[in-house]
Amino acid sequence: MSRAEVNMIPLIVNTSDPMAKVRVVTTKDYSTKTLKTLHTIGVLHVEESEELKPVDKEAIERERREIGELLTSINDILAYMPKGERVSLREDVEVIYTRPFDEVDSEVRLLCTKLSNVHQRAAKLNKDVGSLERQADIRLQDLNFSGSYLFSRVFVFPNELFETSCPKLRDYILESLSGTVENETVSYAIAKSENQETIEFAVEDGGGRILSIPGEDLTIREFLEAADGNIHSLEEELAKLHTEIESKTRENLEKLVLFREALSAETERLAVLAKACEAKYVTLIEGWIPESNVEATISELRENVGYVFIDTRKPEQAEEPPTKMRNATAVKPFEVIVNLFGTPKYKEWDPTPIIAYSFAIFFGIMLGDVVYAALLMLFAKLGLRLLVDDPKSEGFKLFQRIIYISGGVGLVIGVLTGSYLGNFYEFFGIESLALVKGIQEMFSDPVRFIVVSLIIGLVHVNIAHVLALIRGIKEGQKAVVPNKAGLFILQIGAIPWIIHSILGIDIPLLPEQIYPILLYVAILGVVLIVVSSLMEKGAFLGGIFWLFDVTGLLGDVMSYARLAGVGLATYYLAYCFNLMADLLSKMMPAGIVQAIVGTLIFILVLLVGHLLNLALSGITCFVHSLRLCFVEFLFKFYEGGGRAYSPFRLKARPVSVKV
């Protein structure tokens, strides 16, 4: 099946957006302007160009270091702001991004200088506090003695370096005492004065340091009390400085965040520039662009860049372009589900359409309650954002829409079956709210519900097998054709025969004489499955593994009984909570006690019970829908493992940015 043929039926599977390989060649002087234009257009997926040399690598690295310093300065200041605070940007990042770097550099440095003195003072106080805390933990003795014959010192080593340094010092040290404090080893040593320089050099060369001992003539208790007082004083001063820095930072917060976003974009541009290549006087940028964007991109480049040459071509057979999925708006959110399994390869089918219908229908059947569905959609709208880091991200919005669509199907099924918090309407003397009585009876009868679930599973699994057959024919997999044909023939013969001969049910329009023939049809299907297994796995393994194809089909279809299981559990749990609330409220003494206390108990049991059932149902419906789509469906024909299309793009006008 060609790409064009598949595009005619995007209701089942789709294909990715056709990509074109683009090579942009410009003069060295225009390379920066070209990259900024491409960054603003936001359609080029940049690739490495291995056959050419990097452009002005030293200059690029120098500018990247300068930008890194500016970003560090900004982040050091923003570190004093509360984590997760969001800042609304009234100015476009693109306005800053398109300005010359020298102007941005000067303004950022000027802005940061306003706070640098306070910031440096805070850093020094932090260092002083840390120094006092380390010394206050050390026992003061005569640790820093220097005499004409002997001297003593305290050395500090990282734990991992102490063992390697000890052998070098052992021949010179007369006496030593060591102990471990957190990640460091402290060693007190006495040695001859004539070996002092040798020992101190060996300590520093081995990664250690000589601990500075206070020279005051104090007892240990007096020193510790003084150190504690100094630490407390410094911490109070440091807290005041933090408050002052936060106050002054907040005055310039929007500018700081705006510059940070622009400089981050500039860092990304320079990273791409490192991938670009040059001959003596030209720069080359290479990547992938959707065919639909090629004309507009060429027009934009030629309008903004004076000297530019653009070469485009279709992908070669051996190349694997990135995948840009192109689904209708209604099913696009379910790309999230497909990508959880694996991004489709460029030449592979995108199963998003069929996954969208399948997931939403499975979820809706299992939920099947109007109130639960409405509450779930309300939670997706108002409460779900509290559980994620970035509720403004595209992925979160797509996930929200998955809940809206799947919950909407559950709401429709709830309306058809008349399920409102289970049978809650019966408290008002209403017998039924079902819009379609037949559907209510089907979903309330466990046996009929299971049968419907198995029929849905049979259809769903066979769609996967049909797609696997088409893919096998397309890729020339000889063993796939008899295998899938055998599975289809086996079902055609075995299912009616089992229904008639084992279950004792006559199928309309099928004469009695046809059933013995159907048994032979089923046997033919098994023979084809055995042949395909022998072709694929050989005589030994093939003679065993054919059985798993037959039992696997049965297991896959039976797995869809979970639709009935979860759907009935959702309804009957709601029914039980309704019944429990009614019984407990009526257990109260008649009269005013029952009217007040009984009503409160009734409301409390309903509230807790239905919220619990809603949480369990929401999670269970999502997980089981995911399992049916992944395990019983996608594994049969879909591989995944492609690269997602990730264009070199400037994000314009972020509504809010996390500090």
Q: Which comes out higher in pLDDT, residue 490 or 658? A: 490
Residue 224: predicted pLDDT = 52
Provide the phi-psi class of 185: left if phi over 0, else alpha when psi is between -120 and 50, else beta.
beta
Average pLDDT over residues 558-578: 95
Contacts of 143 (CB under 8 A, 6+ apart): 152, 153, 154, 188, 211, 213
Helix H, strand E, coil C: the string for 355-409 is HHHHHHHHHHHHHCCHHHHHHHHHHHHHCHHHHCCCCCCHHHHHHHHHHHHHHHH
Write the pLDDT tens digit of every residue in 359-407: 999 999 999 999 999 999 999 999 988 888 888 888 899 999 999 999 9
Average pLDDT over residues 237-262: 72
Write the pLDDT tens digit of every residue in 397-433: 999 999 999 999 999 999 999 999 999 998 888 988 9
Tell whether the model's pLDDT for residue 8 goes beyond 50. no
Write the pLDDT tens digit of every residue in 132-184: 444 444 445 566 777 788 888 888 888 777 777 777 787 888 888 777 776 78
Tell whether the model's pLDDT for residue 511 goes beyond 60. yes
d(Cα 188, Cα 179) in Å, to the nearest integer? Answer: 9
Tell whether the model's pLDDT for residue 548 goes beyond 70. yes
Provide the phi-psi class of 418: left if phi over 0, else alpha when psi is between -120 and 50, else beta.
left
Tell whether the model's pLDDT for residue 185 goes beyond 60. yes
Residue 537's pLDDT band, with cuts at 50, 70 and 90, is confident
Tell whether the model's pLDDT for residue 642 goes beyond 80. yes
Out of 5-14, 227-236, 244-253, give the one with best mean pLDDT. Answer: 244-253
Place of tokens 């734990």: 159
Please count the other Cβ atoms lying within 10 Å of the Cβ belonging to residue 153: 21
Residue 222: predicted pLDDT = 53
Q: pLDDT over 90 for what percent of the chain? A: 32
Instruction: Compute CA 99 distance to the chain's CA centroid, rounded to the nearest angstrom.
Output: 34
Residue 43: predicted pLDDT = 86
Classified as helix, coil or strand, 588 is: coil
Average pLDDT over residues 614-636: 95
Say if residue 521 is exposed, middle or buried (CB neighbours under 10 Å; 0-12, 13-18, 19+). middle
Out of 225-229, 280-284, 562-566, give the one with best mean pLDDT. Answer: 562-566
Average pLDDT over residues 262-266: 76
What Å distances lie between residue 594 and 93, 232, 428, CA to CA? 64, 61, 18
Contacts of 481 (CB under 8 A, 6+ apart): 469, 472, 473, 532
Residue 93: predicted pLDDT = 63
d(Cα 455, Cα 434) in Å, to the nearest integer? Answer: 23
Least confident of 237-251, 310-324, 538-552: 237-251
Q: DSSP letters of 450-503?
A: HHHHHHHHHHHHHHHHHHHHHHHHHHT-TTHHHHHHHHHHHHHHHHHHHHHHTS
Residue 67's pLDDT band, with cuts at 50, 70 and 90, is confident
Tell whether the model's pLDDT for residue 492 goes beyond 70. yes
Residue 241: predicted pLDDT = 66
- Asked if 461 and 632 touch (Cβ cutoff 8 Å), the reply is yes
Residue 586: predicted pLDDT = 85
Q: How many CA atoms lie within 13 A of 471 on its CB side?
A: 18
Q: Which comes out higher in pLDDT, residue 59 or 300? A: 300
Tell whether the model's pLDDT for residue 561 goes beyond 60. yes
Provide the phi-psi class of 141: left if phi over 0, else alpha when psi is between -120 and 50, else beta.
beta
Tell whether the model's pLDDT for residue 129 goes beyond 70. no
Tell whether the model's pLDDT for residue 460 goes beyond 80. yes
Q: What are phi and psi of 548, to 5 degrees?
A: -70, -25
Q: What are phi and psi of 550, to 5 degrees?
A: -70, -50
Tell whether the model's pLDDT for residue 443 goes beyond 70. yes
Residue 76: predicted pLDDT = 76
Please count the other Cβ atoms lying within 10 Å of the Cβ belonging to residue 43: 21
Residue 206: predicted pLDDT = 79
Tell whether the model's pLDDT for residue 312 goes beyond 90. no
Write the pLDDT tens digit of every residue in 325-342: 999 999 999 999 999 999
Residue 49: predicted pLDDT = 52
Residue 439: predicted pLDDT = 92
Domain positions in the chain are 141-213
- Asked if 214 and 223 touch (Cβ cutoff 8 Å), the reply is yes
Least confident of 48-52, 68-72, 380-384, 642-646: 48-52
Residue 476: predicted pLDDT = 85
Tell whether the model's pLDDT for residue 7 goes beyond 90. no
Residue 366: predicted pLDDT = 96
Average pLDDT of the chain is: 81
* Residue among 342, 274, 302 at smallest CA distance from 49: 274
Q: Which comes out higher in pLDDT, residue 387 or 570? A: 570
d(Cα 543, Cα 520) in Å, to the nearest integer? Answer: 21
Residue 126: predicted pLDDT = 59
DSSP 8-state symbol, 152: E
- Asked if 639 and 345 touch (Cβ cutoff 8 Å), the reply is yes
Tell whether the model's pLDDT for residue 77 goes beyond 90. no
| Dmax (CA) of the chain | 119
Q: How many CA atoms lie within 13 A of 74 on its CB side?
A: 26
d(Cα 26, Cα 30) in Å, to the nearest integer? Answer: 6
Reading across the β-sheet that carries 150-158, which strands appear in turn? 173-181, 184-192, 150-158, 209-210
- CATH number for 141-213 (one of 3.30.300.30, 3.30.70.2750, 3.20.20.80, 3.20.20.70): it is 3.30.70.2750
Instruction: Compute CA 350 distance to the chain's CA centroid, rounded to the nearest angstrom.
Output: 20
Place of tokens 């639960």: 372
Tell whether the model's pLDDT for residue 78 goes beyond 50. yes
Residue 121's pLDDT band, with cuts at 50, 70 and 90, is low
Measure the CA angle with vertex 342, ends 290 and 476; round to 5°: 80
Least confident of 84-88, 133-137, 499-503, 552-556: 133-137
Amino acid at 472: G
Residue 614: predicted pLDDT = 95
